[in-house]
Amino acid sequence: MPQHPSVDLSSFPPGFRWSAATAAFQVEGSRDADGRGRSIWDDFVGSPGAVRDGATADPGPDSYRRHREDVALLAALGVDRYRFSISWVRVQPEPRGPVLQAGLDYYRRLADDLLEAGITPFATLYHWDLPSALEAHGGWLERETALRFGEYAEIVAEELGDSVRHWYTINEPVSTSLQGYAVGTLAPGKQLLFGSLPTVHHQLLAHGLALGALRAAGAEEVGIVNNHTLVIPAAQTHADLTAAAVYDLLHNRVFADPVLTGAYPDLETFGIPPMPVADGDLELISAAEDFYGINFYNPTTVAAAPAGSPVPFEIVPTTGASTTGFGAEWPIVPEALTGLLLDFRERYGDRLPPLVIGENGASFPEPDHVDGPVPDAERISYLAGHIDAVGAAVRGGVDVREYTVWSLLDNFEWADGWSQRFGLVHVDFDSAARTPKASFEWYRALIEQARA
């Protein structure tokens, strides 16, 4: 039997939580079931060439029909919580339109089955599946979308708040803004560059509105979760240091500062247009959270852009780093997570609430069909390194309360379709058969050891 890397668990405090995650569009399938509406991701996968392997996300793991298998897997894994997302268009296909009881009933069944299994439901209100009807009127570029999201949050909070009491509001607004609206590699596929920045403010406003709605319904724990990265200058030159500062501003600070400090960083110094802030917005956005969520996968090495570039930075390979299945785009540097967490503590001080690692994981090439556990030693090494990195940050004084593996299941990896597998559990996308990988048993044993 191969020897897997061990993890130093001595720094993790009693009560530290261990979790696993998925998202609705990536695992549910059944896209036309029970009146579900159309989202920007339905539109994106229907665009020729938008998804690497032409995948359509259906049926995939088919969790809408097979969620009890997933709950059984989670119970066997021994996690404290399960992070899943609620599909806006499965609950309310048209903003201000009728609410679908079938969709709400599904999420209630999922939450109740989790509770019966001793697992806390930890739901995400928005994981990228914006109703197409809203995108047709500008999507997150328009303030109206934030207001409609607030109404959706009220519906979900009222209907599910007695079963689900722990919530993420918005997942990775940076990915929606920069990849969805700035460069077009994710839905809705816009290429607006700096013209995408109003989407930042409107998503953060949506978070603030949802925070209030969930708290009013008795939620015990609410916070936002963003993808953050440690930005590394390619060289210690003035040009590369400036480029790294701009990228850090756009990827990290423009999303975290308003939530944690009540103000946007100085954008105009870098020639970036100001945000469309109305009176009262920043008070809503910066209302005290119960936690701040950080999704982390890799650091980002940045150099000054070549002459003629429309942006002042260029992302370059990270020297000396091994990579995941995404290649140089996703370098593996666990200590970068420690550096990021320590940087957050130094940057935000006592304004920083407890942190939750909302996603961390890696994809590596694996077969489409298996007849036994996948020996995914590379994933185990990645997870062990990053859990150790969290422990190092805790020793450094950072208050981290939870670690979440992305993902429980192999699933639809957005523009990469079925070509990237992140799961602790292998999914045969033809049959939806689930087969735990070696990493599943490794994580189960780690959780057991942490509780011993």
Residues designated as active site: 172, 359
Long-range contacts at 270-274 (CB < 8 A, ≥ 24 apart): 270/246, 270/312, 272/194, 272/197, 273/194, 273/197
In one-letter notation, the amino acid at residue 141 is L
User: Parallel, antiparallel, or unpaired: how do β-strands 313-316 and 221-227 relate?
Assistant: unpaired
Q: Residue 233: CB partners within 8 Å, gap ≥ 6?
A: 240, 241, 243, 244, 301, 302, 303
* Tokens linked to 245: 């500062």
**Side-chain half-sphere exposure of 266, counting CA atoms within 13 A:** 3
- Strand pairing partners for 124? 85, 168
- Strand pairing partners for 122? 83, 166
CA atoms of 149 and 209, how far apart (whole Å): 8
SS3 425: strand
* Tokens linked to 168: 């993420």
The C-alpha R_g of the chain, in whole angstroms, comes to 21
SS3 130: coil
* Tokens linked to 448: 């057991």
Q: Cα 249 to the chain's mean position, in Å?
A: 19
SS3 111: helix
Asked if residues 158 and 217 have their Cβ atoms less than 8 Å apart, the reply is yes
- For 112-150, letters b (16+ CB in 10 Å) and e give ebbeeeebbbbbbbbbbbbbbbbbeeebbbbbebbbbbb
In one-letter notation, the amino acid at residue 207 is H
CA atoms of 60 and 41, how far apart (whole Å): 15
CA atoms of 21 and 293, how far apart (whole Å): 13
CA atoms of 238 and 310, how far apart (whole Å): 19
Taking residue 260's Cβ as centre, other Cβ atoms within 10 Å add up to: 22
